[in-house]
């Protein structure tokens, strides 16, 4: 896997440069440069609009108690698309444009959520505390009271340390 990442890091700029040279030969070097700058600005604007839409849907789903997993995955894809738009080049801009299209992003996010076998829980903090209390047998709001003393290393040979059965017993559970 690290070798694949290294190959991608080295190959993407190389292919971007080759495509930039081809486009530059066809439409002119300055035109190709300005086209990459314009696509970066338009792409970031598009990502911003799509991001607000995803954020709105995420808030709606959370208010209704629906898992926002798909919106979180779509937000991740939008972040990747934004990174691609900031990288100069026609290949990364094309990949970013594909990730910015809602139906493609929705398909990819659903596919990843199903393939990854993710599970999400919805509910309030009180619901999770109640589930914890049921799992561990504690009562809601139960406080466990206790006393402690600090010991120095020279006090470690007390009779409690020698015989733990002399500890006070508390059967109030």
- Total structural domains in the chain? 1
167 in a domain, yes or no? no
CB 123 within 8 A of CB 132: no
Q: What are the angstrom distances between the C-alpha of 102 and each of 4, 30, 71, 93, 97?
A: 28, 32, 11, 16, 10
137 in a domain, yes or no? no
82 in a domain, yes or no? yes
Rounded to an integer, what distance in angstroms lies between the CA atom of residue 98 and that of residue 21?
23
CB 85 within 8 A of CB 40: yes
Rounded to an integer, what distance in angstroms lies between the CA atom of residue 25 and that of residue 7?
27
Q: What is the residue-level pLDDT of the chain in tens, covering all 173 positions?
A: 788 889 988 899 999 999 999 999 999 989 999 999 999 899 999 999 999 999 999 999 888 888 888 899 999 999 999 999 988 889 999 999 999 999 999 999 989 888 877 666 665 666 666 666 666 666 666 666 778 787 776 655 555 555 666 666 665 54
169 in a domain, yes or no? no
Place of tokens 């990854």: 116
152 in a domain, yes or no? no
Residue 82: give the domain boundaries. Answer: 2-116
Helix-then-strand count for the chain, H and E: 7, 0
Q: Residue 131: left (phi > 0), alpha (psi -120 to 50), or beta?
A: alpha
Rounded to an integer, what distance in angstroms lies between the CA atom of residue 39 and that of residue 23?
14
The rounded Cα 162 to chain-centroid distance in angstroms is 50
141 in a domain, yes or no? no
Contacts of 89 (CB under 8 A, 6+ apart): 12, 13, 16, 17, 19, 20, 36
């Amino acid at each position: 896997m690290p070798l694949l990442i290294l190959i991608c890091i080295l190959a993407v700029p190389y292919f971007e440069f080759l495509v930039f040279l081809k486009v530059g030969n066809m439409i002119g070097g300055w035109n190709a440069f300005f086209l990459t700058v314009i696509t970066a600005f338009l792409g970031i604007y598009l990502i911003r609009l799509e991001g607000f839409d995803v954020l709105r849907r995420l808030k709606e789903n959370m208010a209704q108690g629906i898992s926002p997993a798909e919106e979180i995955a779509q937000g991740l894809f939008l972040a990747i698309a934004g990174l691609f738009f900031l990288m100069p080049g026609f290949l990364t801009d094309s990949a970013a444009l594909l990730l910015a299209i809602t139906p493609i992003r929705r398909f990819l996010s659903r596919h990843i959520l199903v393939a990854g076998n993710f599970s999400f829980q919805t509910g309030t903090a009180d619901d999770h505390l109640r589930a914890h209390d049921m799992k561990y047998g504690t009562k809601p709001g139960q406080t466990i009271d206790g006393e402690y003393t600090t010991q120095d290393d020279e006090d470690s040979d007390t009779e409690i340390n020698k015989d733990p059965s002399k500890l006070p017993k508390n059967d109030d559970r």
